[in-house]
């Protein structure tokens, strides 16, 4: 059986997957730092919620990057016409990041 | 079944037995494109996927920039640095507000670029870069004043 030909000149999908993972790691690190800082600002167990949601979001991004990578490669290998997946995850990231910003805004202006 | 991109054989896809991934069903070329958002994917023709992937990476890079602005803005206040309080708060708010709006601009820029790729048009030049430059300059001046006037 011969090896498949190159379906991804320039390793574009690998670079994109790594970009997803850098973004996920940024979310994870920010969430862990928030879990460190928030107990001083928020009472009860409320401090754990933003950080916990952020860590879950970063795990979702890791899983999503893997899923999109596999779907791209498998389609490219099977049909020879690779194409990107839908942009719903990108939309979710945009909404999530905006919510993080609004949370930060509330934290800075209301909890002082 | 190996791939999640697979469609049921009844959807007239075909097996590609010449490849190790032969168990993946490939949708026919004329299958309706239901990818989100339809405002983008229902238009034009499929571009070179490498360009679409580059567009996706640009969106993710803007997202990381947004996260950095938000983190910087929150840290400026949360760490209680010894700076002039009003100016420190102003710098913090500038960074956070722009950081919160940037993902919206990044999404719009992604959609416009992808649509231009699909329609074979010149790529748009979204103004988010200029907005970022102005934001960082304003925040930098505010922090500098906050240091000098503390």
Chains A & B: contacts with CB separation below 8 Å? 157
Q: Give the pLDDT score at A15.
A: 96
The DSSP result for chain A, as a single string, is: -PPPPPSSTT-HHHHHHHHHHHHHHHHHHHHHHHHHHGGGTS-TTTTHHHHHHHHHHHHHHHHHHHHHHHHHHHHHHHHS------SHHHHHHHHHHHHHHHHHHHHHHH--
**pLDDT tens-digit readout, A28-41:** 999 999 999 888 88
**B77, A81: Cβ pair inside 8 Å?**
no
Q: Which residues contact B33 (CB under 8 A, 6 or more apart)?
A: B41, B42
B48 in contact with A at a CB cutoff of 8 Å?
A: no
Domain map of chain B by residue range?
46-148
Q: Give the pLDDT score at B32.
A: 78
- Whole-model pTM above 0.90? no
**pLDDT tens-digit readout, B47-62:** 999 999 999 999 999 9
Q: Give the pLDDT score at B80.
A: 87
Q: Which residues, numbered 21 to 40 in chain B, qualify as contacts with chain A under a Cβ-Cβ cut-off of 8 Å? A: 21-22, 24-26, 29, 34-37, 40
In tens digits, chain B (150 residues) has pLDDT values of 343 443 333 333 444 444 443 344 445 556 678 999 999 999 999 999 999 999 999 999 999 999 999 999 999 999 889 999 999 999 999 999 999 999 999 999 999 999 999 999 999 998 999 999 999 999 999 999 999 998
- Residues in A touching B99 (Cβ below 8 Å): 101, 104
Task: Write out residues in chain A with pLDDT < 70, as ranges.
Answer: 1-9, 112
Mutation for testing the B interface, residue in A69, A94, A102 having most B CBs under 10 Å: A94
Q: Which two tokens stand for residue B118?
A: 């699909």
Phi and psi, residue B14, nearest 5°: -135, 150
Q: Give the pLDDT score at B101.
A: 98
Mean pLDDT (chain B, rounded): 85
- Residues in A touching B56 (Cβ below 8 Å): 16, 19, 84, 90
Alpha-carbon gap: A39 to the closest alpha carbon of chain B (Å): 12
Whole-angstrom Cα distance, residue A90 to residue A9?
24
**B60, A83: Cβ pair inside 8 Å?**
no
Q: Give the pLDDT score at B28.
A: 56
What is the ipTM for the molecules in this complex? 0.92
């Amino acid at each position: 059986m011969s090896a498949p030909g190159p379906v991804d000149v320039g390793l574009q999908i690998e670079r994109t997957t790594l970009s997803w993972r850098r973004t996920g790691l940024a979310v994870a690190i920010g969430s862990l730092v928030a879990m460190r800082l928030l107990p001083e600002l928020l009472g009860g167990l409320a401090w754990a919620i933003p950080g916990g949601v952020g860590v879950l979001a970063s795990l979702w991004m890791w899983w999503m990057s893997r899923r999109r990578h596999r779907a791209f490669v498998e389609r490219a290998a099977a049909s020879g016409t690779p194409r990107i997946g839908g942009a719903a995850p990108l939309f979710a990231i945009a909404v999530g990041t905006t919510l993080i910003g609004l949370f930060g805004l509330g934290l800075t202006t209301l909890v002082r | 079944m190996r791939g999640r991109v697979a469609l049921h054989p009844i959807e007239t896809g075909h097996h590609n037995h010449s490849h190790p991934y032969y168990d993946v069903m490939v949708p026919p070329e004329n299958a309706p494109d239901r990818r989100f958002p339809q405002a983008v994917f229902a238009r034009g023709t499929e571009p070179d996927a490498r360009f679409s992937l580059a567009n996706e990476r640009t969106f993710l890079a803007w997202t990381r920039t947004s996260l950095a602005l938000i983190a910087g803005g929150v840290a400026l206040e949360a760490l209680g640095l010894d700076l002039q309080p009003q100016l420190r708060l102003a710098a913090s708010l500038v960074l956070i507000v722009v950081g919160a709006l940037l993902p919206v601009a990044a999404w719009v820029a992604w959609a416009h670029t992808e649509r231009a790729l699909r329609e074979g048009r010149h790529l748009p030049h979204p103004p988010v870069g200029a907005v970022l430059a102005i934001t960082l300059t304003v925040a930098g001046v505010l922090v500098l004043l906050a240091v000098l006037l503390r």
